[in-house]
Amino acid sequence: MTRFDPRCRRCPRLARHLDAVKKKYPRYHAKPVAAFGDPNPGLLVVGLAPGLHGANATGRPFTGDHAGIILYKTLHEFGFASHPESVSRRDGLQLNHCRITNAVKCLPPGNKPTGKEVTECNIFLGSEINRLKPGSLIMALGTVSHRAILRACGLRQVDYKFKHGALHRITSELRLIDSYHCSRYNTQTRRLTTMMFRAVFRKATQLLNQT
């Protein structure tokens, strides 16, 4: 298994971009962002990639940007997080039975990784998934994350269609549940409402309580 590499520079475009961002924002993390949370989770939440002024700045997934506001508030509501807000890596927040990661660990220009970059980073996501205990549930935030999870499990995209709230049995021991990404665009356009997001987490909690 290939574990997360905090010094990874496998993707030349992303490496150059991080160098430029670090020069412009010297105090930013501006490196690959490690997963955060319980090392032995029942729920693995998979986002797309670090945001410029969010995880890329703070070094913690979904911390410091709009998407993290609804995510951590919902995690707290359902008992997965000790606090409803994630401010920095030093705020004392802990995740319970939950871990958060991204399909791509480095900030991509325009928040849009290329297909090749998603594939290159898939080896790290695969390692995270392989370490999950039987009965675990993976939550994909968006189609890119959904496809990255399937790739990491060696599955065909055509057999597992993305749909908000859909549940898929992807191995004999793991399940995948889909949600629209909690991005600013999706929440402001109401493609994803707070009620819709809570419904996915309610379903996830019920499934985990049954195992």
CB 49 within 8 A of CB 121: no
Contacts of residue 85, defined as CB under 8 A and 6 or more positions apart, other chains included, come to 69, 72, 73, 91, 93
In the chain, the amino acid numbered 44 is: L
- In the prediction, which pLDDT does 2 show? 79
Is residue 6 a part of any domain in this protein? no
In the chain, the amino acid numbered 120 is: E
Q: CA 87, 92, 98, 102 torsion: positive or negative?
A: positive
Q: Which residues pair with 178 in a beta bridge?
A: 140
- In the prediction, which pLDDT does 211 show? 72
pLDDT at 102 over 90: yes
What is the C-alpha to C-alpha distance for residues 119 and 109, in angstroms, rounded to an integer? Answer: 17
* pLDDT class of 25 with cuts at 50, 70, 90: very high
* Number of domains forming the structure of the chain: 1
The CATH number linked to 138 is: 3.40.470.10
* Residue pointed to by tokens 């390692």: 127
Is residue 4 a part of any domain in this protein? no
Q: Which domain holds residue 139?
A: 12-210
- Could you tell me what percent of the chain has a pLDDT over 90? 98
Sequence length of the chain is 211
Is residue 198 a part of any domain in this protein? yes
List helix spans (H) across the chain: 12-24, 55-58, 66-77, 115-130, 143-152, 184-188, 194-210
Cross-sheet strand order for the sheet of 175-179: 36-37, 98-102, 43-47, 137-141, 175-179, 167-169
pLDDT at 71 over 70: yes
pLDDT at 1 over 70: no
What is the C-alpha to C-alpha distance for residues 22 and 199, in angstroms, rounded to an integer? Answer: 38
Q: What average pLDDT does this structure show over 104-109? A: 98
Predicted TM-score (pTM) of this structure: 0.97
- In the prediction, which pLDDT does 168 show? 98
Collapse the DSSP code of 179 into the 3-class scheme (helix H, G, I; strand E, B; otherwise coil) and give the result: strand
Is residue 5 a part of any domain in this protein? no
Is residue 3 a part of any domain in this protein? no
pLDDT at 160 over 90: yes
What is the C-alpha to C-alpha distance for residues 53 and 57, in angstroms, rounded to an integer? Answer: 5
